[in-house]
Chain A
Amino acid sequence: MVGLVALLVVLGILGLVAIVGIGIYNGLVGSRNQVDNAWAQIDVQLKRRHDLIPNLVETAKGYMKHERETFESITKARSAAMGAKSVSEIAKSESQLADALSKFMLVVENYPELKANQNFLALQEELTSTENKIAFARQNYNDQVLFYNNKIQMFPSNIVAGMFVFTKRDFFQVETALEREAPKVNFS
C-alpha cells in the first residue's frame, strides 16, 4: 500500500516535470521561430528597396541631366545587392546601396524643380519609409535574438535548451564603419 502511494507520487512528480518541460520546449521553439521570422522581415524590406529604385531613377532622370555617375552607382549597387548570395556579401552590398542612395538624396537638394514634383515626393516618402523599415526590422531582429538568447541561458529553460540543442543566435551588426559612425561635419 505504502509502496503504491510512493509510486503514484513519483509518477505524479514525473508527469508534472514533463508538462513543465513541454511548455518550456514549446516556448523555446516559438521564440526561435520569431527570430527566423524577424530575419525574413529584413529581407522583405530589402527587396522592397530594390523594387523602388528603378521608379525613383526614372522619375529623377528627366530633371537631373548632369548626375549620370550618381545614377550609375545606384544602379550598379542595386544589381550587386540583388545578385549577392552569402550573408556577408548581402550585408556589404546593401550597405553600399544605402550609401549610394543617401548620396543621391543629398544631390536632390540642388534640384528644386524635382523636389516640387508630386510623383517624386511620393517616391521619396516611400524610400525614407523603406530605409526606416529596414532599420526597424533589424532592431526587431535584435530584440527577438536578445529574448531568445536570454531564454536559452536562463534557468530553468536552459536545461531544456541544452537537451534539445538550441543554439545561441548572433545579433545583427552593421559591418561597415561608415554606417555606424555619425556623419562628420566640417566647420572649417
Chain B
Amino acid sequence: MTGHAKALRTSRRSILKGLGAAAIGISLTGTKRSAWAAEEPKLNFYNWDTYIGETTLEDFTEASGIDVNMSLFATNDELFAKLRAGNPGYDVIVPGSEFVERMIQADLLEPLDHAKIPNIKNISPEFMTDAPFDPGRKYSLPYTWLVIGVGYRKSKVKEVPNSWKWLFNSDAYAGRIAVMSDASELFRNCFKYLGQSLNDASPELLKQAEEMLTKQKPNIKAFHEDNGQDLLLSGEVDVVMEYNGDIAQIMKEDDDIDFVVPQEGAMRQQDTLAIPKGAPHPENALKFINFIFEPETGKGITETILYPSPNAAAVALMPEAYRDNKVIFPPADVMAKCEYPNYLGPEFSRLLDEAMTRLRAS
C-alpha cells in the first residue's frame, strides 16, 4: 500500500515536471549541475519568429557540438512577462533596446564577459558607443537595428510621404492609413512630429499628442499589431507606420512599395542578444553570441531576414543591392534625428496606456 502510494506520488510529480517543460517548450534535463564546470552541450535560444539565418543553428552545432533548442516569442512584452517570474531556462534572448533598459533595472540580465566574445571587433563601433539604454554594452550586444517610418504604395500617393503629418494630422489619405497599436511606438513618434524628443515624458505633450490622434482617428483604418506590411501588401491601406525591415521584406514581392523615414525623425530600436539571469548554460551562451558575430554567420542571417545588421564585417560580405538599399540603410542626415527610446518609468507607462485606451474608446 505504502509502496503503491509512493509510486503514485513520484509519477505525479514527474507528470507535473513534464507539463512544465512542455508548457515552455524546452527541455530542462539535468540543469542543476555546477554550471561553470563542464556544461552539457545544449543551448536554449529564445528568439523572434523568422529572425535567424536558414542554416545558422545547424552551423553552430557543427562548429561547437552544442545542440540549439530555439523557441519563439512574438512581442517584447511576452518575453518580459515570461522572465519576470524567474527564468524558465533560456540561455540567450533577443530583447529590444527599450526592454534591455527595463530588464537591467529589474536585474534580469547577466553581465557579458566581453573577453569571451572576441568577435565584438566585427561590430560597427558606433553601436558599441551609442547605446543609451545599455551604456558600455555591459549586458547586451546589437543583433539588428531598425527604424520606424512610413511604408507606402507608390502609385497611390501624390508625393513621397516623408513627414509624420500624412499619418497623424492630415485627411489626404483618409481611410487608407494604418498606424501601430503599441502605445509607446505610436505616441512617442507623435512627439517627434510635434517637434519634441521622444524621451520627453511630459504629460502635457502626451495630452497634445492624444488630442491630435483623436482628431485623426476617423481617417485611420486600423491600429495594427505589427503586421502593417501585410495591410500594405494586400492593398488594404496605402500608407502605414512600420519598421523598415518589415517593409524591405515585402518590397521583394511588390515593387510598387517603398519606405521613407519622416523628416522629423523617428524612433529607432535595436534588437540585442543578451543572457538572462539564471541561464542554465551561460558558457555555451557566450560561445553562441560570439558565433553570431562571425562575418559569415552574420551574412547568412542578414540574407534571410534582410534587417539592417550592425555587424560591419558581415555587411561588407553582402551584395551592393543590400548595402546601398535606402530602405535598409536610410540616409545618415535623417537617421541623425532618430532616437532610441528610454524606459520612462511605470508612471508614464500607465499614462501612455490610459491615453491609448481613451483613444481607442473615443
Instruction: Tell me if chain B binds chain A.
Output: no
B interface vs A, CB < 8 Å? none
A interface vs B, CB < 8 Å? none
